[in-house]
Structure 1
Amino acid sequence: MAKVKIKKTSEKVLKPKSKVEQYYLDLSGKEFIYKPTEKIPIIQVDSFPELGKLTALRFIEWIIENPDGVISLPTGKTPEHFIKWVEKILKEWNTKSIQKLLGEVGIKSDKKPSLENLKFVQIDEFYPIDSGQHNSFYYYIQNFYFRLWGLNPKNAMLMNINEIPTAENVPLKEIFPEQKVDLSLRTRWASSRLERLQKETIEIVDEYCSNYERKIREMGGIGFFLGGIGPDGHIGFNVQGSDHFSTTRLIQTNYETQAAAATDLGGIEVARNRLVITIGLETITYNKDATAIIIAAGEAKANIVRDSIQNSPSIKYPATALQKLLNARFYLTHGAALRLSERRFVDVTKENPLTQQSIERAVINLVVDKHKKLTQLTKDDYKENKITNFILHNHDKNVEEINSEIEQNIISRLDKGMQLVENEVFLHTAPHHDDIELAYQPYVTHLVRTPKNKHHFTYLTSGFTAVTNSFMLELMQNLMSFLNSGTFTKKFNENYFNRANIDGKNRDVMQYLDGVAAHSRTLQNEALARRLLRNIMEVYEEESLIYLKDRVNELINYFKTQYPGKKDIAHVQKLKGMQREFESEIFWGYYGFSVEDVSHLRLGFYQGDIFTELPEIDRDVYPILELLKKVKPTIVTVAFDPEGSGPDTHYKVMQAVSEALQLYEKETGNSNIKVWGYRNVWYRFHPAEANIYVPVSLNSFAMLENQFIKSFSSQKGASFPSWEYDGPFNRLVQKIQVEQYNTLRECLGKDFFLKNNHPRLRAAKGILFLRELSLDEFYKHTRELKKVTE
């Protein structure tokens, strides 16, 4: 077939003035901007760490040119590598490696740039919040930008909430005792003295915001703005719907922003009530010569990145306000750029030969777009889409043959998902304690039905960050009531709570499940108290009931007095993690598995810091290797991160498992192990990426609902939910799997499922996706990820 030539426009190609941007642009092999689809120029890089490196080099280049400039920099996890690279460049300026790097990207300077005269403007802050709290943005800025880089505090405009005056100088905690700020007081009469104080304090904050804006403008506006982008597209805390002419102000946030902030604030319960002070979109764009950069990494950001770049200015997409700036940019990883139509097209045209995955992705997307089943797609349909038109002219098969091949591939993957799997030894691995359950629990239900399979479930991190202080307080108070009643005295004297008593641990699980079966909250509460007492004895190495009561009282006081979101001390981290471990044991107890079938490795890289460590061989890989030797699996399941962004726990666990499997294969010579990759609520497979499709029935959804809510007590309140769904994760999983079913139903037609001879397909209302790999394929996948993050 004749090859389609890509037309080159006669329009003048826009190029960056920055040498750093030009270097990375040349490296990417992409255009700076694909007009008319893209409205803001883009620099694309391979990985999250490389994104930080690019941004740091551009920042260094800018401050050399603007030593007295005004800068505004982000908080959170996104700027991790940016912060580290700036620190490294400044500290190692005169080393050969840094000078070589600077030379490569075109930065020429006789001496290290000084940050002494730079003016720093804080972008946003929660309100109210104690600025001394570790989860305040004020603390973050002090800890990372000022401490690590040596910025001059005298030149900083910071949002120190502790220094903003209050009505009659009454402490903020007394004015807002529940930390709720009612902005309706701006426009109504106060009905009490407390409301009068609140109204006056709100007015003071509003005046503070106005003065903050004025000072920024007096400096000429922000010269270098760097920001991330929220799930709803927010820049700073300018959420979806923000006026493009907005200035610094005190505002409420939306659900998506609250969900994203839940981790910082210690739960969605706190985030819902917390207001924010943020600079406005007009604040960011006031200086028309400003360099404004938005950084985004990972496929999870791909949709909002697409909407922010390909749409004309709209309050629905806050980042479109940056289009008025000549020097506005998006710096993206390949994952974040995945859904930018022109860039996706360029990627496909560079494939030689065209990969089956790219063909299937494009054609399945066309099915969804046209609302036609696969076999109904025509040549004209293909021609209307740039990518499928290219495929049509660069493929040996015609439209009907391509459609038929993809249809058969989908059917064969469904068949594989329903095949009887026997004589396999499964090692199910998970970064967090609900990952397996949320990803492929309906499949496990089928896999465990035959005694010819063996299963072991292992959780690789402690997961303590998902447990709130308020939940632990309830558990502690529940335990104290049992201790005071003397219920546990006999069991205590019989060494029931001894850490080596495996039978006792299994009886904890059985007691809880008996309570579920009997609808008895009392039995469930006793089981929770038993396991918590056992855990406290292990953590604190305490064996006296009298002293244990004192310890419980201390913990009750701890959970009452700690502010939400504060990093816990090591013993409390362990206690919280052990509660998650108990919950996962309860979940698998539904199937008759004992605690011996569930292991908890608590890998050391997971420490609850905002920037977490990388896995280490001795600390994080060898424990997995020892488990592999013990279980001797034939199939290992692994949570797949689609891009391998450094800070992501899924990625780090996947790398550790990969390293352990390589060592295991080297020691045993066993190269026949299969790897099943899975994803759940954070990322999802496109149908073209998966090769096992498992039908999910309403019965399976009902089972997951019951098991998840009953087993994962710490999660049923959804304190750390996804921004996509306001509720527990199991319901988001159902939503996702229903969407995946609808995609396949579009491809195959409704009658394929409605009139199918197989009852599981007739009963299907959802589909879960898995990706099976050989060891060599898995190693190749993880090596590529590792290479781009080093």
Structure 2
Amino acid sequence: MDVCLASTGSVVERALQEHYGQKDRYAPAEKLRTLVVENFPALGKVTALRFLEWVQGHPEGSVALPTGKTPEHFIKWTQHLLETWERPETRSLLETYGIEPGLKPRLDGLHFVQIDEFYPIHGWQTNSFFHYVNKYYLTPFGFDPNKALLINPDEIGLREGETLESVWGEDGVDLSLRTRAPRNAAEQRRQRLLAEVDDFCSDYESRIRALGGIGFFLGGIGPDGHIGFNVRGSDHYSTTRLCETNYETQAAAAGDLGGIEVSGKRLVITIGLGTITYNPEAAALIIAAGEAKAPIVKTAIESEAGNQVPASALQPLKNACFFITTGAAKSLTERRHREFAANAEDPAEHGRILIDAALQSHKTVARVTREETARLRSGPLLLEKLGTDFEVSREAVQLRLQEKIRRGLTNPTGERIFHTAPHHDDIMLGYLPYLLQFIHDPANSHSFNYLTSGFNAVTNDFMATRCRWARRALVTEPAATWLHLGDAAADQGVRQVQVQRYLDGLANQDETLCETQVGLRFLHLVQEIFGDSWGVADDLTPVRDQLDALETIFKTTYPGKKDAAPIQKLKGALREWEAEVLWGHLGFGLGHVRHERLGFYKGDIFTEEPEVNRDVKPLLERLRREKPTVVTVAFDPEGSGPDTHYKVMQAVAEALRRYRDETGDNQIRVWGYRNVWYRFHAEETDLIVPVSLGQIAELNTLFMNAFASQREASFPSYAYQGPFSELAAQILVEQYEHVKQLLGAEWLQNHPDPRVRAARGFQYLVEMDLDTFFGKTRALKRSIG
């Protein structure tokens, strides 16, 4: 029998339960109330409705709202609802969710509370949270700035003539000065400012409590489960404070701050878990989207209270609730069980349970017992459904896994493969070992299509170094080796020579030759972007002046600042060079590599939605030319990884829809891949590809040779502290261990194909027909076409 907590007074939450046919808590597994919606945009809509419902009842209350990418749709929906409150369609939506449409909320009576801030950082920087809340909340929502509690590091403790840089220098804040004596005058200033920051935090906490605490809290959940910046291990009674973060949090913040070299030195000012829960009536909502969040969401919702699970501090709050998407809910025990109960005849669901039972029991699928299967939540129901066919189903799962490996060994031939990637390293991280098996079959043709320029993943330090290499190449190389000619064919010839000579440098271990070719490409790009009137054949002074100006920009611009469009283009073009180097390793010239630079990718914190004219039609034109039989795509239906992956997938899907409508070609197959952000379950894959130690080494070597901008791992995954190629290798090995467990080491070692015997990694891919692929994607709004 289901046990459910008494529902709160929220009409929106009750409407959600009714609309989706769910309870808000399934005990005993779930320790916090949870509501699940279908996708990321829907999550923003229902959260906005819940917020405005609360404001109607608390017009002078205090609210704390999140920063970063997570609240994108919440912000857009809240603004939309407030701006269109009187329209019939909005009134109808409000009534559907039980909100009184005659009482339009006013937010100017509310007290806004900033949740957290990096430290030290200037409040005027566009990547500070102080800037964020002013830009996206205070004015757009109609808050009264005079009633806002804000954290602006420029206004905390600095004396006349002091700046954050002059006090803290390049090394950042030394918290040991809280407990030790300063060694010199500089440390005395730091100790005094540190004390001022601590006093600010205490005062900030007092001001929040004077308001009665926070009435409405909305937050995301970090990769380690952090709420605010209360990382794993935070005291549930913690208050506002200046503190350090952990690696996962630093990695997640690297994109905002310009690299982990910067985020690793930043401390944070954050309200505490005790601050959030101080008001026992607080409506504390946590939002999460995508399968990548599923493991941490499960931990947060199903764990007993403890400091290792920050969200468990919310358990005493009757109005606390997780609002999450179906992907984020994927690992929740009871909800997964109910999903299975509704699809209990699906062999894939049987396979998932049996595989999980085998992995949990450290046995092969063929040997997992009924008793071991019954230990899983859905195990007894599966056994009931299977009856005497348990052994038959077990064997079927084993045979399906073996068939997937057989398919992974069968190399495609006679295919026209249209490879797509959101970023320049996605193809190699997603399926390069598989591709290497058949890439040189002359019966196949390949087109590598990079859909964004990826400039956000290039640091200013990296660019400053390229300025120096370009200046050196300017002295040693003739203009003909880099000159941008303005003729597409001639320019491609110059660029192709640069790639080939770079590869010669790698082969000869000639670092100077490699650096020279990068410098020459840099000169070519700088002239293309900045130098229409240089006249370089006569005078190189304008070239040197432009390089000097660029180096000054790269050395003086604060990390994480949005670049001007020409700088974005220059950074992105260097990532494009890296992709050309990658395929040059494998014998593919520039004619096989296409850089689309889709327009939705602009470096804004909220990436625009793809548009048909701007983003889909260029892809459609490429499909018309290539006439592919296979299209590859980073398969991210819910935005689990970077949102660029999700939006690129929508653009590819729309282009394929239109291509099929034009041509009637319904035979195209789609290969879905995942890389370092999240993974396929063994049951949901269609191809399991053996990967040898040599192939793993080649993956890493190619990555390190080609993707110099990523070599230092300035923007790493929170799951691994190092280059993406090493994480990709780790995932391949983990999947090998799973397959070895499921099928048995003997089966692999005795396999007739030496590729299986040599395998120490396995790569997972899915293969879909167009209808299946379209069913996993959202159609773009026709109104934007």
Q: Which residue of 2 aligns with 1:547?
A: 542
Is the CA contact (8 Å cut-off) linking 1:431 and 1:461 kept in structure 2? yes
The correspondence for 1:535, drawn from 500, 520, 525, is 525
The correspondence for 2:646, drawn from 645, 651, 665, is 651
Q: Which residue of 2 aligns with 1:310?
A: 302
Q: 2:459, 2:262 → 1: CA distance? A: 11
Q: State the TM-score, normalized to the length of structure 1.
A: 0.96
Note the alpha carbon deviations across 1:225-281, whole angstroms, 9 max, x for none. 110000000000001111111111000110000000001101000000001000011
> What is the SS of the residue equivalent to 2:286?
strand
Query: Aligned-pair distance for 1:42?
Result: 0.6
> What is the SS of the residue equivalent to 1:253?
coil
Is the CA contact (8 Å cut-off) linking 2:254 and 2:260 kept in structure 1? yes
Q: 1:627, 1:481 → 2: CA distance? A: 38
Judging changes above 3 Å, is the alpha-carbon distance between structure 1 residues 785 and 256 closer, same or farther for their aligned structure 2 residues?
Answer: farther
Q: Which residue of 2 aligns with 1:441?
A: 432
Once the two structures are superposed, the pairs formed by residues 25-44 of structure 1 within 5 Å of their partners are 25-44=17-36
Q: 1:132, 1:368 → 2: CA distance? A: 51
Matched, 1:582 2:577: yes
Query: Aligned-pair distance for 1:103?
Result: 1.0
Matched, 1:409 2:400: yes
Q: Which amino acid aligns with 2:662?
A: E
Matched, 1:512 2:507: no
Q: 1:47, 1:314 → 2: CA distance? A: 30
Is the CA contact (8 Å cut-off) linking 1:48 and 1:646 kept in structure 2? no
> What is the SS of the residue equivalent to 1:324?
coil
What are structure 1's unaligned runs of at least 5 residues? Answer: 1-7
Q: State the TM-score, normalized to the length of structure 2.
A: 0.96
Q: Which residue of 2 aligns with 1:604?
A: 599
The correspondence for 2:354, drawn from 363, 367, 377, is 363
Q: 1:486, 1:155 → 2: CA distance? A: 62
Query: Aligned-pair distance for 1:503?
Result: 1.8
Q: Which residue of 2 aligns with 1:74?
A: 66
The correspondence for 2:676, drawn from 672, 681, 701, is 681
Q: Which amino acid aligns with 1:26?
A: E
Q: 2:411, 2:325 → 1: CA distance? A: 40
Q: 2:484, 2:262 → 1: CA distance? A: 43
Farther off after superposition, 701-710 or 449-458: 449-458
> What is the SS of the residue equivalent to 1:386?
coil
Q: Which residue of 2 aligns with 1:616?
A: 611
Q: 1:268, 1:554 → 2: CA distance? A: 26
Query: Aligned-pair distance for 1:666?
Result: 2.6
Q: 2:697, 2:285 → 1: CA distance? A: 45
**Pairs aligned (count):** 779
Note the alpha carbon deviations across 1:139-171, whole angstroms, 9 max, x for none. 000000012111000100000111112267522
Q: 2:779, 2:160 → 1: CA distance? A: 60
Farther off after superposition, 75-84 or 373-382: 373-382
Judging changes above 3 Å, is the alpha-carbon distance between structure 1 residues 218 and 493 closer, same or farther for their aligned structure 2 residues?
Answer: closer
Over the residues paired in the alignment, what is the CA RMSD in angstroms?
2.0
The correspondence for 1:731, drawn from 708, 716, 726, is 726
Q: Which residue of 2 aligns with 1:773?
A: 768
Q: 1:312, 1:338 → 2: CA distance? A: 20
Q: Which residue of 2 aligns with 1:469?
A: 460
Is the CA contact (8 Å cut-off) linking 2:483 and 2:524 kept in structure 1? no
The correspondence for 1:93, drawn from 85, 101, 106, is 85
Is the CA contact (8 Å cut-off) linking 1:67 and 1:117 kept in structure 2? yes
Q: 2:657, 2:81 → 1: CA distance? A: 35
Q: Which residue of 2 aligns with 1:478?
A: 469
Farther off after superposition, 281-290 or 488-497: 488-497
What are structure 2's unaligned runs of at least 5 residues? Answer: none
Query: Aligned-pair distance for 1:646?
Result: 11
Judging changes above 3 Å, is the alpha-carbon distance between structure 1 residues 338 and 784 closer, same or farther for their aligned structure 2 residues?
Answer: farther
Query: Aligned-pair distance for 1:179?
Result: 5.3
Is the CA contact (8 Å cut-off) linking 1:19 and 1:107 kept in structure 2? yes
Is the CA contact (8 Å cut-off) linking 2:221 and 2:288 kept in structure 1? yes
Judging changes above 3 Å, is the alpha-carbon distance between structure 1 residues 309 and 785 closer, same or farther for their aligned structure 2 residues?
Answer: farther
Q: Which residue of 1 aligns with 2:380?
A: 389
Matched, 1:379 2:370: yes
The correspondence for 2:709, drawn from 700, 708, 714, is 714
Q: 2:640, 2:75 → 1: CA distance? A: 16
Judging changes above 3 Å, is the alpha-carbon distance between structure 1 residues 594 and 193 closer, same or farther for their aligned structure 2 residues?
Answer: same
Query: Aligned-pair distance for 1:494?
Result: 10
Matched, 1:669 2:664: yes
Identity, % of aligned pairs?
47
Q: 1:714, 1:629 → 2: CA distance? A: 33
Judging changes above 3 Å, is the alpha-carbon distance between structure 1 residues 669 and 307 closer, same or farther for their aligned structure 2 residues?
Answer: same
Q: Which residue of 2 aligns with 1:216?
A: 208
The correspondence for 2:551, drawn from 534, 556, 561, is 556
Is the CA contact (8 Å cut-off) linking 1:499 and 1:538 kept in structure 2? no
Once the two structures are superposed, the pairs formed by residues 126-137 of structure 1 within 5 Å of their partners are 126-137=118-129
Q: Which residue of 2 aligns with 1:63?
A: 55
Farther off after superposition, 88-97 or 592-601: 88-97
> What is the SS of the residue equivalent to 1:158?
coil
Q: 1:784, 1:394 → 2: CA distance? A: 37
Is the CA contact (8 Å cut-off) linking 1:509 and 1:589 kept in structure 2? yes
Matched, 1:170 2:158: no
Judging changes above 3 Å, is the alpha-carbon distance between structure 1 residues 443 and 218 closer, same or farther for their aligned structure 2 residues?
Answer: same
Q: Which amino acid aligns with 1:749?
A: G
Is the CA contact (8 Å cut-off) linking 2:481 and 2:494 kept in structure 1? no
Q: 2:548, 2:95 → 1: CA distance? A: 61
Query: Aligned-pair distance for 1:62?
Result: 0.6
Q: 1:149, 1:533 → 2: CA distance? A: 46
Q: 2:11, 2:435 → 1: CA distance? A: 53
> What is the SS of the residue equivalent to 2:490?
coil
Judging changes above 3 Å, is the alpha-carbon distance between structure 1 residues 755 and 171 closer, same or farther for their aligned structure 2 residues?
Answer: same
> What is the SS of the residue equivalent to 2:683?
coil
Matched, 1:742 2:737: yes
Note the alpha carbon deviations across 1:42-99, whole angstroms, 9 max, x for none. 1111111111111111111111111110111110011111111111111111111111
> What is the SS of the residue equivalent to 2:684?
coil
Is the CA contact (8 Å cut-off) linking 2:482 and 2:524 kept in structure 1? no
Once the two structures are superposed, the pairs formed by residues 293-308 of structure 1 within 5 Å of their partners are 293-308=285-300
Note the alpha carbon deviations across 1:377-429, whole angstroms, 9 max, x for none. 12222222221221221247622111100000000110000013211111111
Judging changes above 3 Å, is the alpha-carbon distance between structure 1 residues 785 and 297 closer, same or farther for their aligned structure 2 residues?
Answer: farther
Once the two structures are superposed, the pairs formed by residues 79-228 of structure 1 within 5 Å of their partners are 79-108=71-100, 110-166=102-158, 170-178=162-170, 180-228=172-220
Judging changes above 3 Å, is the alpha-carbon distance between structure 1 residues 12 and 320 closer, same or farther for their aligned structure 2 residues?
Answer: closer
> What is the SS of the residue equivalent to 1:241?
coil
Q: 2:437, 2:242 → 1: CA distance? A: 53
Q: 2:58, 2:641 → 1: CA distance? A: 31
Once the two structures are superposed, the pairs formed by residues 254-403 of structure 1 within 5 Å of their partners are 254-351=246-343, 354-395=345-386, 398-403=389-394
Query: Aligned-pair distance for 1:780?
Result: 2.3
Is the CA contact (8 Å cut-off) linking 2:482 and 2:523 kept in structure 1? no
Q: 1:596, 1:471 → 2: CA distance? A: 27
Farther off after superposition, 419-428 or 383-392: 383-392
Query: Aligned-pair distance for 1:667?
Result: 2.5
Q: 1:553, 1:42 → 2: CA distance? A: 55
Once the two structures are superposed, the pairs formed by residues 490-505 of structure 1 within 5 Å of their partners are 491=481, 500-505=490-495
The correspondence for 2:564, drawn from 565, 569, 579, is 569
Note the alpha carbon deviations across 1:171-191, whole angstroms, 9 max, x for none. 221001215111111111111
